[in-house]
Amino acid sequence: MTGRLYGVGLGPGDPELVTVKTARLIGEADVIAYHAARHGRSIARSIASPYMRQGQIEELLLYPLTTETTDHPGGYQGALDDFYAECADRLAAHLDAGRTVVVLSEGDPLFYGSYMHMHKRLAHRYPTEVVPGVTSVSAAAAVLGRPLVERDETLTVLPGTLPGEVLAERLRAADSAAVLKLGRTFTKVREALAEAGRLDDAWYVERATMGAERIAPLKDVDPDGVPYFSLALLPSPAERAFAAEREAGGEAVQEVRREAERGLPGAAGEVVVVGLGPAGRPWLTPEAQEALAAATDLVGYGPYVDRVEPNPRQRRHRTDNRVEAERARHALELAREGRRVAVVSSGDPGVFAMASAVLEVAADFPDVPVRVVPGLTAAQAVASRVGAPLGHDYCVISLSDILKPWEVVAERVTAAARADLVLAIYNPASRSRTWQLAAARDLLLEHRDPGTPVVVGRNVGGAEESVTVTTLGELDPARVDMRCLLIVGSSTTRVTERGTVYTPRRYPG
């Protein structure tokens, strides 16, 4: 017997808006499939995550392109057609083996959903069921609190990818309308609304029902930074009759919201120490994204706070790098007032970062809950760029002697060298610490061959990323600064002709 295919709608983003049936099917499925752009992050999977279980097979259907050009002989559509055919073959293999396959889709599966491409290719071959979901249009109207259509009015749904003149013509004739797929089409859509004489009535809704939800008059929105998961909405014309009354009470409503966001005495606040990973958003975990989106306040070293996308409803508290205890205390005091505080750290907050500082000060705040959300470490990021130098036992050492004596650092470097451990070296140098790396290199050379591979990663994940593979004997400390992380190999670490660095999992002897 073959398996059964389900296309399930997850709704607009809030996991609580997933239907009971969809939640059950996700939990029962043998295979969970979901689409994602090349960065590999799937909003659909993050929504479905609470309903998934251990041991399920996951099929990540990674788009080969989104808006890029392609040299595919069939052009953009040809490349996508080949991709959908390949995805369908992957799912068919599971169905032929008798497995139940659930394909996740934001919103409704057959409303601009990626699932429909699997449905067209598989539904005639296997038992199939489509489970509807709440659409983004319904969610936008709900969070806006304005009717879509009343009585005999009609609703027009348009993709923002249509030509501007077509958009203007259809918006001019529409009662109510929703324009989806904004992102880079936002400016064109706004111009079409203006040409149709509807701009003053249009609303902008971003990530409806999600933690980073945003609502604003569309004419006031800055085109820069408008995400794909946003839409323009023209509510019911009948609703305009109540506009004056609504606007009169609008400021009072907004003040209530602002008061809630500021935090009230006795409200339940918390501190979440969030790892941002080594660089930009692609290195951020879904859990970290959720914690940042839910925060009312961001606290951290200035450059790290700046890496979080601005949100006008959040307060940002930027501090100097050497006031960790004060920073932690300030965050805990804010949480005691009822604020939801995210303390941000680069990499993982538990590796030479803010988690220990917050937990140490938290002893004075027993009433404030503290959570730690892990992040991808700099050592992992640098290692991934060259292969697998951390494939066997390794240790992590900071060369900074600001918070511990250099004698302790030297003892630990020597012990790691004697133990033949791979070393991931943090804080190798700074403007005021210029001799420590050379001293550490000399200590290592007492126990390591000069030909031992060394990886120097600088600003990995950032615009100025550079990764160099050298040897311990040829390592030049003058070319290393605070933005670098070093990985010093063990006696078994190897460098291939292609420059790949790896440490075998099997140790000789």
Q: What is the dihedral of CA 408, 411, 412, 414, to 10 degrees?
A: 160
At 5, phi and psi to the nearest 5?
A: -100, 135
Look at residue 228 in the predicted model and tell me its pLDDT: 85
Encode burial over 319-352: b for 16+ CB neighbours within 10 A, e otherwise.
beeeebeebbbbbbbbbbbbbbbbbbbbbbbbbb
Look at residue 253 in the predicted model and tell me its pLDDT: 44
CA distances from 132 to 11, 115, 350 (A): 9, 12, 42
Please report the domains of the chain, with CATH numbers, ordered by start residue: 5-133 (3.40.1010.10), 137-243 (3.30.950.10), 270-376 (3.40.1010.10), 379-502 (3.30.950.10)
Q: Which of 99, 86, 84, 85 is nearest to 32 (CA)?
A: 99
Residue 150, CB-side half-sphere exposure with 13 Å CA sphere: 10
Look at residue 464 in the predicted model and tell me its pLDDT: 87
Look at residue 470 in the predicted model and tell me its pLDDT: 96
Look at residue 394 in the predicted model and tell me its pLDDT: 96
344 membership: H or E segment, kind and range: strand 340-345
Q: Which of 39, 82, 29 is nearest to 60 (CA)?
A: 39
Mean pLDDT by 10 residues, the chain (509 residues): 94 95 97 88 93 93 78 82 93 95 96 94 96 96 92 94 96 94 94 95 93 91 90 86 51 47 55 92 88 92 90 88 88 94 94 94 94 95 96 95 92 96 94 91 95 95 91 94 94 95 92
SS (H, E, C) 436-478: HHHHHHHHHHCCCCCCCEEEEEECCCCCCCEEEEEECCCCCHH
Q: pTM for the complete prediction?
A: 0.52
Gap between the Cα atoms of 391 and 504, Å rounded: 6
